[in-house]
Amino acid sequence: MKKLLLLAAIAMASVKGFTQTDSTISLDILRAPSQPGFVLLGIEPENIETPQDPTDVLVSLRNATNNFSTLPRSYAIDIAPAWVFRSKISAASFLNQKGDKPLPNMWQTLRFSFATNTPNTAGADSNLTQMGIGFKTSIFRGNKMDVDWDSSRQQLDSMRAILKNRNFAVANYIASAINSDSELKLYSDKLVAVTIALAQKQDSVRQNPALASDASFMLRQSQLEGERTTYSTYLNMRNENVRQAAVKHFDDSLSVQMGIFKQLAGELKFRRYGWKLDLAGGIVLNYPNQNFDYSLLTRYGAWLTGGYETKQAVNFLGVTRLMLNPNEMYKDKNDSLRTGDNLNFDAGAKIEWTPQGGLSRFRMAGEGIYRTTLNNSAIDGRLRYTINLSYAVDKNTLLNFSVGKNFNSPTQYGGNLIAALNLLVGLGGSRPVLMK
Amino acid sequence: MPISTSFFDVYSVIDTSTDNVTLAITITELKADPNNAGQFTEVPNNDIEATTTVKLGTSTVGDPKMGSFNGFIIGKNNDLANLMITVTTSLADVNPDSNVVRLSYTLTGGGNKYSRDLLSGVLNQGDIVEFLATIRFY
């Protein structure tokens, strides 16, 4: 089973490599680092993951802040199958989802996370490699949508200028074509004539209701109505042909401008807010000798993260997590080393703020989690707290810095410093909108 | 309402009147109603980007209008007979929360009040669609 999971991970990553990119708009949807794989390994800079829209593939390199002198020892990749295999997904439905339909939400936001960590340890564990395999999905992901028009004003001004130029050119083309179309003029004269004749017939009936039962009068009226429909249909068709010819002409001749317009539209920022609820879980495998055929299941569990994000982009989140650690080493009250299947329960809270109503590149968060071991009274409760700062370096690229205190290990006492730098790169932020 | 982005029609004016004939266009964003198949509901925040140019013959009338507008003077009744206007609206869907747009045209000041709606299909964010209303005065 473990091998199957690994092969599935490799296969899914390979499939992404062959996925064609399309010309759809690219939305910047990477907002905060949160990878279940890292959470399972216990090295996620933020232990309470902020619900977010997934990118197709999310790559993370994590490093202790050792003066940036060492290569990263931890790597993670997240894959969102609904977007990797997205031929049947409508981004319109993705965007229009109001968070009140859990099943579509869960499929569209489902992602699998694969992370590895090589702890910087000596002795028997010096060859240890850990692998976390997790999943995450959003049951509710914000029932409100906000587009910040003020901060997008520059894009909008550019778009309006392009739109205005195009409209002026199209209008000139159409007016010239319509007014030089002698057949359209001829049939519009006929339509006017038949409309006037019909109006006169209707006036006649109003003045002399007995005409309504005059067969020849009504036959002529019926003929006129038929003629009116015929002329009107023909003129509508001819008019539409002119419109389509103009659209095609300017789609071709203004293709560069239209490309810029589409890009500007795609750069408009939007975000969801409101109630959010995520479900995540997974397993951790240890490879003591870095041997693929020999691994130990060392942790598995699941957690719920939920809360409310305000329109001003302040997140209030809580988490509850159950994690079983088979054969975990711990110290009892007498400082004797023992092993046991410890069932940990975490409860925590987080507050997160992104300035400028969620549109700033900078974000800060603080969180605290209290852990109790439900089935082992020998292990004391312990606390973890961190402050996290992140900065959007570029579109779909985040740099995250975390500092704080980790959970005390069951085998030692005293604080564990968290000081980590995390680089996340989201791949495949484009969202296709299918015609329906 | 069928999806259509153009129409041709006629509108009566009063030869003896010097009153203005005016045009109004109301742009409404719609989205599919998840509770009623085939039905649409209005999107409350009208953030559509649209520009309209009105041509009387081949001459431009007034300045291009942005978004919805009303009271746009096309001309006096007695000047318009036998002339034709083309009303070209270029519209972009920049709001990811909507995908259908309705344009409601209203002509007033002539023989009768005239109203007509056009409805676009589903738009991709950033797509531009052109609506065309051609009206022959008589």
| Token pair recorded at residue A342 | 């410890």
**CA of B36, closest CA in chain A: separation in Å?**
15
Q: In whole numbers, what is the pLDDT of chain B averaged over residues? A: 86
Distance from CA of B54 to the nearest CA of A (A): 8
Q: Considering only the beta carbons, identify the residue of A147, A179, A247 that sits closest to B84.
A: A179
CB of A271 within 8 A of CB of A358? yes
A268 neighbourhood in chain B, CB within 8 Å: 94, 96, 125
User: Residues of A with CB below 8 A from B128's CB?
Assistant: 163, 166, 258, 261
- Specify the DSSP class assigned to residue A409: P
Residue B6 contacts residue A239 (beta carbons within 8 Å): yes
Nearest CA in chain B to A244: B130
Closest residue by Cα to residue A276 from A116, A63, A50, A79: A50
**pLDDT tens digits for range B23-82:** 999 988 877 666 666 677 776 555 578 899 999 999 999 999 998 999 999 999 999 999
Query: Tens digits of per-residue pLDDT, B42-57?
Result: 765 555 788 999 999 9
Closest approach of A186 to chain B, Cα-based (Å): 12
Question: What DSSP character marks residue B34?
Answer: T
What's chain A's Rg over C-alpha atoms? 32
- Pick A96's closest partner by Cβ from B47, B60, B97: B97
The pLDDT assigned to A41 comes to 65
Whether residues B130 and A178 touch (CB distance < 8 A) is answered with no
Strand order in B6-11's β-sheet? B6-11, B128-137, B84-92, B49-56, B59-66
Amino acid (one-letter) located at A121: T
For residue B66, the cross-strand partners are: B51
Q: Which residue has the higher pLDDT, A374 or B93?
A: A374
Query: Which residues of B fall within a CB distance of 8 Å from A192?
Result: 10, 136, 138
Please tell me which residue, B104 or A360, carries the higher pLDDT value: B104
Residue type, A16: K
SS3 at position A379: coil
Give, as one character, the DSSP assignment of residue A395. Answer: T
Contact B84 A188 (CB under 8 A): yes
Which of A178, A240, A242 lies closest to B84 in CB terms? A178
> H or E element: which one contains B44?
none
Could you give the 3-state DSSP secondary structure of residue B12?
coil
User: Tell me, what's the ipTM?
Assistant: 0.92
Per-residue pLDDT tens listing for chain A (436 residues): 444 444 444 333 333 333 333 333 333 333 433 556 666 666 665 666 665 555 556 666 654 444 445 555 677 777 777 766 654 333 334 444 444 567 767 877 788 888 888 776 656 566 788 888 888 888 887 766 665 555 556 667 777 888 898 999 999 999 999 999 999 999 999 999 999 999 999 899 999 999 888 888 889 999 999 999 999 999 999 999 999 999 999 887 777 777 777 777 666 655 677 888 888 888 888 888 777 788 888 889 898 888 888 877 788 888 899 999 888 888 877 888 888 899 999 999 999 888 876 667 788 889 999 999 999 888 888 888 888 888 877 766 778 788 888 887 666 554 566 677 777 766 644 443 332 2
pLDDT at B56 (0 to 100): 96
Q: Which two tokens stand for residue A126?
A: 């010096």
CA distances, A161 to each of A164, A180, A243, A258, B95 (Å): 5, 29, 21, 12, 18
